Each structure stands twice: as structure tokens, then as C-alpha cells.
Structure 1
Amino acid sequence: MKAVQIVKISEMRVVELDKPVVGTGEVLVRIKYVGFCGSDLNTFLGRNPMVKLPVIPGHEVGAVIEEIGNDVPAGFEVGMNVTLNPYTNCGKCASCRNGRVNACEHNETLGVQRNGVMCEYAVLPWTKIIPAGAISPRYCALIEPMSVGFHAVSRARVADNEYVMVIGCGMIGVGAIVRAALRGSTVIAVDIDDKKLELAQRIGASYVINSRAENVHQQMLEFTRGSGADVVIEAVGSPATYVMAVDEVGFTGRVVCIGYAKNEVTFQTKLFVQKEVDICGSRNALPADFRAVINYMETGDCPAEELITRIVEPEKALDAMMEWVANPGKVFRILVEL
């Protein structure tokens, strides 16, 4: 079968692999679409320390069930549209014992710590197969990244009388904006791209700020009537946006960190104490977050087509990645159609 492989830094090619064979308790899926995510970009650029090259990327998946192994419970059918839960959990670490399997100490995500599924077929345990109803495989590939944003909103315990600032309007930020708006909060979206900010308003943001062109602090004071944000969700992963999150959260507010900053971040730590701010991380997503995204997409309100920047065949994956490297702020998702 055909697969895309990141061979070494800045080198990607199409390779041939054996088609996997379904086993007991497993499901064989025909992969239709796989999205490139930020971790794949970092792998390609040599900035992902968790990856050992060569590796098959891909964990944002739209697929169709092709074969079902023995001892798979009812509820799975050949031809069913599905997405995949791409994380593993050991069941023994502190996170797993506490029921937060998304943050397993020994997690191996598809395309990161182990080979992903940017290939024509994949076999997974039935527990990692998520039925997606009438959602097309094309749009199923958007479920996982949006679920990460949904999970961050749950971590933040967002309520309907709160101001929620979302820094970064990429795919994960989009998920956070949607989920916070669905919970009835007043969402303030921040980005440097006006096109992304315009979309943010259409999916639920009440206010937007272009941080390159506007004074973020002044705008935040105006929008929140001087109180600052009750919740700030950092979905970029840069020192500047981490500092912004702490600066703009209000007293006794909550900051949720999704993005990985590649460099050290310097804070005025007195703000942690003075504001008595709660700061927490948010990693991956839980099955409930996947279901919540599916429920949202089934309403028909999701502008899914606008979240797809480009669709390419495997042979054009390298060209698409190079374009993303050149213009990182202009991409929501690049899908590879297999």
C-alpha cells in the first residue's frame, strides 16, 4: 500500500508498505483523508524531539471501516465513516489512574512516538475507532484537532457568564472558540491574520483583536469592561503569547496552555500571586471531546470547507508542506487524500 514518510529533516517521499492484516479485537480501516498538523510540521523541520525518523506522519483521520476482526462488539459496520483516537494509554500511570487517559505519561501518538496513518490502510483496536455518523471522511479529518480545543475549554471550566480570550485562531483555537461560544461565554479571539479573525467571528467570537495591528491590552480592557478575561486559552505556543495570557487574564482567572513554546518564557511571576491565577496545561482530548465535536458538526453549523486550506495527493505532500513552511499563518489544514 502507498504511504507518505518523513525520511529525514526536510525530506518526504511516498513509499510502499505491506497492507496490514486485521486481528482479534481489531478493525481494518481504509484511510480516505489525513490532515497535516503542527506536530508533523515540527517533525519535518527537525523541531520535534519526541520523533525518531523516518516516520509515517498523520493522526487527523477520516476513514471507512473495511473489515472487522473477531471479538469486536456490536456497533461497528463495514462501510461506516469513522475517525480515530490516535493516542495510547498505559492504564498504570498517575494520569490513567485518575481517569485522564489523554495525558498518559507513556502516551504514544500516531505519527509522533509511533508511525502514523498517512497510508491507504490501517489496523487499530476497536477501542480507538470512533463512529462519525453521516459526517463525510473529508470532514472527519477535522475532528481530532478541534477536539483538542474542545478539551481545553473543559479544562478551563468555562461558564456562560465569562469572558474567554482565545489566543490563536488555527484549527485548535477554532475548536476552543466554538466550544466556549456553545457554553454561552463571551469569546474574544486574537490572531495576526484578519481572514482567520473574520472566521472566528462567524463561529462564535463576539470580539476579535489583530495583535499585530492593535493594542491588545487596551482592547481587552474595553471588551471586558476593565476586568480582564476570566479565562485565557493559549493556542499558539510562543513566548509572546504565553506572556500575553498571564498579562490579560483577570484577577482570580484561569489560563489554559495548549501550545508548546519552543524557547524559554520569562514571566513577571508576581502576577501569578497578585491575581491568584490558576494555570493549567491541556493535552490531547478525551473520547467525550471527540463526541462533542461530532455533535457540533452534525448540526451543520461548522464551516468545515473553510477549514480545509488545500487537498493534495500523496505525491504532492512535500510541495504542500513546503508551502506551509513558507506561509505558516495562512494555513488551517492541509489534507492528503489517499
Structure 2
Amino acid sequence: MKAFQIISPLHTALKEIDAPACRAGEVLLRIRYVGFCGSDLNTYLGRNPMVRMPVIPGHEVGATIEAVGTDVPDFLRPEQHVTVNPYTNCGKCAACRNGRVNACEHNETFGVQRDGTMTEFVAVPWQKVVTADGLSVRDCALVEPMSVGFHAVSRAQVTDIDTVMVIGCGMIGLGAIVRAALRGAKVIAVDLDDEKLEVARSLGATCLLNSKTEDVHARLMEYTGGLGPDVVIEAVGSAPTYVMAVQEVAFTGRVVYIGYAKSDVSFQTKLFVQKELDIRGSRNALPEDFRAVVRYLQQGHCPTDKLVTYEASLEQAGEMLQRWADDPAKVFRILVKF
């Protein structure tokens, strides 16, 4: 069967690999759509420190069940539309023992530390299959990135009395915007691109800030009555936005970082103490975050067509990565269709 592989920075190829067997406790999936993630783009550009190359990318999955092995519960049936929880957990590290399996010390994510799903079939343990009845198989590929944003909102403990600023309106940031709005918070969206900000508005943001053309601090003070946002969720992963989060959050606020900066970041650490901040990381997502996204999408209110910038064939996958690298600000998601 065909698979797409990133061999080395800026070097990709199609290859033939053996089709997987469906063993006991496993489900064989026919891959229909795979989304390119920011981590895939960083792998392609040689900027992903966690990847093991060469690698088959892909962990944002829209699939149908092809077959089920023995010892698989009967709620999983052939032809169902599903997505995949693409993370592993060891069950032994501190994170796993604390029930936070999403942050497993020894996690291996599809397409990063192990080969991913940009191929025709994959076999996965049944526990990693997320059913998505009522969703199109294409929309199933949007569940994982949105779930990462949902998880960040849970980490921030957002409630209906909070004002939440989300920095970065890519797919993960949009997931955070949706979840914060669903919890009744006032949501401020910050990005460099007005088109992305308008999508953020359609998903629940009530204040839009273009950090390239506007004075973010002045606008925040105006919108929050001089207090600053109660919560800042950073979904970019750059040094300036890391610093912005700490500078702009309200006294006694919460800062949650999803993205990780690729260079060292210098902070005025007095703000940590002076504001008595809660500063938290947010990694991957938990099973309940996946279920929450599926339930949200099942309601049919999400303008999913606006979230998909390009659809491409497997043969065009390398070209699509280069197109994204050439103009990253204009891409929400690229889906590779099988």
C-alpha cells in the first residue's frame, strides 16, 4: 500500500509499505482523510526536535472501520466513521499514575516519535478509536486538533465569569475559542490575519485583535476595564507571544501554554510573583476532550468548510507542505484525501 514519508528536511517521497494485519484487540482502519498539523510542517522544515526521521506523518484522522479483530467490543463495527486518539501512554510514569495520560513521559505520537497515518490502512488498539457517528468522515479529521484546544481550556479552568484571550487562531487556537465560548466566557481572539480573526468571530470570539496592526495592550485595557484578561491561552509557540501572555494577563490570572517556543524566552519574572500567576502547560488531549469535540461537531453549528484551506491527493502531499511553508499565515488545515 502507498504511504507518504518525510525523509529529511524538505525531502519527501511516496513509498510502498506492507499493509497491516488486524490482530486481537485491534481495529483495522481505512484512512479517508489525514490533516497536516503544525508539527508536520515543523518536521518538514527540520524544526521539530521530537521527531524521529524518516517518518510517515499524520495523526489527524478521518477513517472508516475496515475490520475488527477478536476481543474488540461490539460497539465498534465495520463502516463506522471514526477518528483516532494518536497518543500512547506507558501507565507507569508520574503523569500516568496521576491519571494525566495525555502528558505521559514516554508518549509516542503518530507521525512524530513513530510512523503515522498518512497511508491507506492502519491498525490500532480498539481503545484508541473514537467513534463519531453523525459526522462526515472528513470532519473526523478535525477532531484531534480541536481537542487540543479544548484541553487547554480545561487546564485553565475557564468558567462563565472569565474573560479569555486566545493568542493564535489556527486550528488549535480555534478549538480553545470554541470551548471557552461554550463555557460562557467572553473570548478575545488575537492573530496577525484578519481572515482568521473573522473565523474566530464565527466560533464565539467577541473581541478581535490584530496584533500586527493594533495596539494589543491598549485594546485589552479598553475591553477589560483596565484589568486584563483572566485567562490567556498561548497557541502560537513563539518567544514574543510567550512574553505577551504574562504581560497582558490580569493580576491573579491563569496562563496556559500550548505551543512551545523554538528558542529561549526571557521573562520579567517579577510578574510571576507580583501578579501571583498560575502558569500551566497543556499537552495533547484526554479522551473526554475528544468526546466533547465530537459532541460539539455533531450539533452542526461549526462552519467546518472555513477550517479546511486545501484538500489534496496523496500524490500532492509534498507540494502542499511546501505551499504551507511558503505562506503559513493563510492556512488553517490541509487535508490529504485518500
Q: TM-score range by the shorter chain?
A: over 0.9
Q: Distance in 1 between matches of 2:300 and 2:13?
A: 36
Describe how 1:149-160 pairs up with structure 2 within 5 A: 149-160=149-160
Corresponding residue for 1:85? 85
Corresponding residue for 1:172? 172
How many pairs does the alignment contain? 338
Q: Distance in 1 between matches of 2:281 and 2:171?
A: 18
Corresponding residue for 1:73? 73
Structure 1 position 73, deviation (Å)? 1.3
Q: Distance in 1 between matches of 2:97 and 2:71?
A: 26
Which amino acid is the alignment partner of residue 278 of structure 2? D
Describe how 1:221-240 pairs up with structure 2 within 5 A: 221-240=221-240
Structure 1 position 251, deviation (Å)? 0.4
Structure 1 position 150, deviation (Å)? 0.1
Describe how 1:194-213 pairs up with structure 2 within 5 A: 194-213=194-213
Corresponding residue for 1:327? 327
Q: Distance in 1 between matches of 2:180 and 2:49?
A: 32
Corresponding residue for 2:277? 277
State whether structure 2 residue 42 is matched by structure 1 residue 12: no
Corresponding residue for 2:247? 247
Which amino acid is the alignment partner of residue 230 of structure 2? D
Corresponding residue for 1:45? 45
Tell me the alpha carbon deviations over residues 79-128 of structure 1, each in whole angstroms, 9 at most, x when there is no partner. 00000000000000000000000000000000000000100000000000
Gaps of 5+ in 2: none
Q: Distance in 1 between matches of 2:49 and 2:163?
A: 35
Corresponding residue for 1:114? 114
Corresponding residue for 2:296? 296
TM-score by length of 2: 0.99
- SS of residue matched to 2:309: strand
Structure 1 position 30, deviation (Å)? 0.1
- SS of residue matched to 2:21: coil
- SS of residue matched to 1:229: coil
Structure 1 position 318, deviation (Å)? 1.0
Which amino acid is the alignment partner of residue 329 of structure 2? G
Corresponding residue for 1:266? 266
- SS of residue matched to 2:22: coil
Q: Distance in 2 between matches of 1:52 and 1:251?
A: 41
The CA RMSD over aligned residues, in Å, is 0.5
Tell me the alpha carbon deviations over residues 37-68 of structure 1, each in whole angstroms, 9 at most, x when there is no partner. 01101111111121121110000000000000
Q: Distance in 2 between matches of 1:185 and 1:222?
A: 17
State whether structure 2 residue 213 is matched by structure 1 residue 217: no
Corresponding residue for 1:21? 21
Q: Distance in 2 between matches of 1:324 and 1:73?
A: 40
Structure 1 position 24, deviation (Å)? 0.3
Q: Distance in 1 between matches of 2:66 and 2:284?
A: 27
Corresponding residue for 2:129? 129
- SS of residue matched to 1:251: coil
State whether structure 2 residue 301 is matched by structure 1 residue 309: no
Give the percent of matched residue pairs that are identical in Structure 1 and Structure 2.
64
Tell me the alpha carbon deviations over residues 286-311 of structure 1, each in whole angstroms, 9 at most, x when there is no partner. 00000000010011111111100001
Q: Distance in 2 between matches of 1:173 and 1:50?
A: 21
Deviates more, 1:101-110 or 1:7-16: 7-16
Q: Distance in 2 between matches of 1:315 and 1:117?
A: 15
Q: Distance in 1 between matches of 2:8 and 2:68?
A: 35
Tell me the alpha carbon deviations over residues 186-232 of structure 1, each in whole angstroms, 9 at most, x when there is no partner. 00000000000011111100101000000000000011111101000
Which amino acid is the alignment partner of residue 198 of structure 1? E
Structure 1 position 7, deviation (Å)? 1.2
Which amino acid is the alignment partner of residue 300 of structure 1? G
Structure 1 position 28, deviation (Å)? 0.2
Corresponding residue for 1:145? 145
TM-score by length of 1: 0.99
- SS of residue matched to 1:27: strand
Tell me the alpha carbon deviations over residues 236-277 of structure 1, each in whole angstroms, 9 at most, x when there is no partner. 000000010001100000000000100111111111111001
Structure 1 position 74, deviation (Å)? 2.0
Structure 1 position 134, deviation (Å)? 1.2
Q: Distance in 2 between matches of 1:110 and 1:255?
A: 28
Q: Distance in 1 between matches of 2:7 and 2:89?
A: 27
Structure 1 runs, 4 residues or longer, greater than 6 Å off: none
